[in-house]
């Protein structure tokens, strides 16, 4: 019988990972409420985070349990009217948590086959219903009004997908090792390692924000040739971010990206995806997107075309971009040279775009601007934001300044500044 997932990691290592989520991830404050979103299969880690959070002074730690198998039954058997409805009481929970000043930790894993027998249309419809009802919550997440952190643990099926030539035990052990290494959680003091990691982010963001490039030009041998125009007074963020009260936190563990918002109507060319996109439990792979004046005018996926179509048709904003991210291929995560089949990990190995909503934080004083002002600046709005990886080892990124002055920012996938 295969050992349980958490038998492949020492208690001391797991506690360091939990402490990283609590202390650096959401930077939990004394007497603060913490909400942990976790599937029941990850109860061991969720309960450990709960213990660590109480040790850090949390006023209360509530675990919001989910169950993928129950969710699958819901998608397969619930009445159509239920699929298209997200209950008011669900949305009311988030409002009450936010009114209480909660922070959120999301524990995710990748069970790639769990929804393989489910209609992608039903998944898409329920996701649209939930995102519509939770619009205010997601707006606060994207604008960093609340602190949150997303981190990953292995799952048996996921591990064997990443390492198909290993036994289940060897695959789980290897995936744990890569997750901890990629998350910079395998050292003696992960908190200090993340402080050092963030200093490199701050240095590069300063250079990019002072440069105020008019556009970024991405090219590689896979067929990507994409010119992305940028709004005036755009801002790059990444690594650690600051909430509305001035408290720093890390939304993603791991994170290697520096990102800003494209101008909604100034994206032209072709983007060729280089890693699978996992959306709603389904896989989209071997795909491309064509842009004209910002809008995605054509797209194709050899695998998951219907899923990609459902994503695109979420709303008008899902035909445009909300994010462009620069990522080096020299990070510990990228150097693992592994296809993770997990968007959080794969997007942090190479440059990527975000389809959908732009963050107000990506423009100067954006947090104080109205939706109309943000739209006038060129920022896109949508119910969703889905990241798509397209970077490669030979990726070249050129920043174009006023007067067509060009500055090489990435060459062969590596930062040049």
CATH number, domain of 26, equals 3.40.1830.10
Q: Distance (Å, rounded) from C-alpha 234 to C-alpha 261?
A: 7
Element containing residue 241 per DSSP (H, E) = strand 241-242
**Residues 268, 326 within the same domain:** yes
Using alpha carbons, list the distances in angstroms from residue 342 to 216, 247, 273, 345, 390: 26, 29, 14, 6, 14
Q: In 332-404, where do the E strands start and end?
A: 352-356, 385-389, 396-400
Range of the domain at 230: 190-415
Edge-first strand order for the sheet with 352-356 is 237-238, 258-260, 321-326, 352-356, 385-389
Higher pLDDT: 296 or 282? It is 296
- Count of residues making up the chain: 417
C-alpha closest to that of 346 among 277, 260, 413: 277
pTM strictly above 0.75: yes
**Residues 267, 407 within the same domain:** yes
CB count in 10 Å sphere of residue 83: 18
Last residue of a domain, one of 126, 160, 182: 182
Looking at residues 144-167, what average pLDDT do you find?
Answer: 95
C-alpha closest to that of 214 among 86, 399, 341: 399
Number of domains in the chain: 2
Contacts of 53 (CB under 8 A, 6+ apart): 22, 28, 34, 36, 61
C-alpha closest to that of 257 among 356, 337, 329, 348: 348
Looking at residues 374-385, what average pLDDT do you find?
Answer: 95
Contacts of 282 (CB under 8 A, 6+ apart): 115, 116, 120, 123, 304, 307
**Residues 269, 376 within the same domain:** yes
Helix (H, G, I), strand (E, B) or coil at 242: strand
Where residue 105 falls (left for φ over 0; alpha for ψ -120 to 50; beta otherwise) is beta
Last residue of a domain, one of 182, 214, 239: 182
C-alpha closest to that of 153 among 285, 262, 20: 20
Crossing angle of helices 135-142 and 120-133, rounded to 10°: 80
Higher pLDDT: 326 or 4? It is 326
Helix (H, G, I), strand (E, B) or coil at 289: strand
- Predicted local confidence at residue 111, as pLDDT: 86
**Residues 23, 151 within the same domain:** yes
Looking at residues 218-225, what average pLDDT do you find?
Answer: 98
Output the DSSP codes for 86-121.
Answer: --HHHHHHHHHHHHTT-EEEEEE---TTTTTTS-HH
Looking at residues 275-286, what average pLDDT do you find?
Answer: 90
**Residues 108, 240 within the same domain:** no
CB count in 10 Å sphere of residue 135: 13
Kindly state the percentage of the chain with pLDDT values over 90: 89
Least confident of 16-25, 97-106, 226-235, 362-371: 362-371
**Residues 313, 394 within the same domain:** yes
Cα atoms found within 13 Å of the Cα of residue 231, Cβ hemisphere only:
30
Q: Distance (Å, rounded) from C-alpha 285 to C-alpha 241?
A: 31
What are residue 243's phi and psi, to 5 degrees?
-85, 180
- Predicted local confidence at residue 237, as pLDDT: 94
Task: Tell me: pLDDT of 403 over 50.
Answer: yes
Task: Tell me: pLDDT of 56 over 70.
Answer: yes
Last residue of a domain, one of 146, 166, 182: 182
Task: Tell me: pLDDT of 366 over 50.
Answer: yes
- Predicted local confidence at residue 1, as pLDDT: 43
- Predicted local confidence at residue 281, as pLDDT: 78
C-alpha closest to that of 205 among 248, 246, 238: 238
What are residue 413's phi and psi, to 5 degrees?
75, 5
**Residues 160, 306 within the same domain:** no
**Residues 51, 73 within the same domain:** yes
Contacts of 367 (CB under 8 A, 6+ apart): 143, 244, 360, 361
- Predicted local confidence at residue 2, as pLDDT: 53
Q: Distance (Å, rounded) from C-alpha 276 to C-alpha 304?
A: 10
- pLDDT tens, residue by residue, 108-125: 998 888 898 999 899 999
**Residues 110, 257 within the same domain:** no
Task: Tell me: pLDDT of 4 over 90.
Answer: no
- pLDDT tens, residue by residue, 288-333: 999 999 999 999 999 999 999 999 999 999 999 999 999 998 888 8
Element containing residue 130 per DSSP (H, E) = helix 120-133
**Residues 172, 206 within the same domain:** no
Looking at residues 366-391, what average pLDDT do you find?
Answer: 94
Retrieve residue 323's tokens.
Answer: 């994010």
- Predicted local confidence at residue 291, as pLDDT: 98
**Residues 257, 377 within the same domain:** yes
**Residues 22, 144 within the same domain:** yes
Instruction: Please provide the average confidence, as pLDDT, over all residues in the chain.
Output: 95
Looking at residues 377-385, what average pLDDT do you find?
Answer: 95
């Amino acid at each position: 019988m295969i050992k349980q997932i958490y038998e492949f990691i020492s208690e001391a290592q797991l506690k360091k990972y939990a402490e990283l989520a609590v202390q650096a991830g959401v930077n939990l404050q004394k007497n603060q409420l913490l909400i942990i979103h976790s599937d029941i299969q990850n109860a061991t880690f969720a309960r450990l985070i709960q213990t660590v959070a109480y040790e850090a002074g949390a006023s209360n730690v509530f675990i919001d349990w989910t169950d993928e198998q129950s969710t699958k039954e819901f998608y397969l058997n619930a009445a159509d009217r239920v699929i298209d409805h997200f209950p008011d009481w669900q949305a009311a929970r988030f409002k009450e948590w936010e009114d209480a000043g909660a922070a959120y930790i999301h524990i995710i894993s990748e069970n790639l086959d769990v929804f393989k027998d489910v209609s992608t249309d039903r998944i898409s419809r329920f996701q649209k219903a939930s995102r519509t009802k939770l619009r205010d919550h997601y707006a606060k997440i994207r604008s960093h009004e609340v602190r949150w952190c997303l981190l990953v643990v292995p799952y048996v099926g996921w591990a064997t997908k990443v390492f198909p030539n290993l036994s289940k035990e060897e695959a789980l052990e290897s995936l744990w090792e890569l997750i901890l290494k990629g998350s910079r959680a395998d050292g003696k003091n992960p908190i200090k390692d993340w402080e050092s990691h963030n200093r490199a982010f701050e240095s590069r963001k300063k250079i990019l924000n002072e440069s105020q490039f008019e556009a970024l030009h991405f090219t590689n041998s896979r067929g990507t040739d994409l010119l992305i125009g940028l709004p005036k007074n755009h801002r790059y963020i990444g690594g650690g971010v600051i909430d509305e009260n001035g408290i720093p936190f890390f939304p993603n563990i791991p994170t290697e990206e520096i990102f800003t918002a494209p101008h909604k109507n100034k994206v032209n060319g072709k983007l060729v995806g280089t890693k699978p996109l996992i959306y709603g439990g389904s896989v989209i792979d071997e795909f491309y997107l064509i842009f004209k004046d910002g809008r995605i005018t054509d797209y194709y996926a050899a695998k998951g075309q219907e899923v990609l179509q459902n994503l695109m048709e979420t709303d008008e904003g899902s035909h445009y971009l909300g994010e462009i991210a620069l990522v080096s291929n020299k990070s510990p995560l990228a150097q693992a040279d592994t296809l993770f089949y997990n968007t959080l990990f794969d997007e942090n190995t190479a440059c990527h775009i975000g389809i959908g909503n732009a963050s107000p934080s990506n423009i100067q004083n954006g947090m104080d601007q109205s939706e109309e002002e943000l739209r006038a600046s060129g920022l896109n709005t949508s119910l969703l934001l889905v990241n798509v990886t397209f970077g490669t080892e030979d990726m070249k990124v050129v920043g174009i300044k006023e007067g067509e002055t060009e500055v090489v920012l990435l060459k062969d996938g590596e930062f040049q500044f």
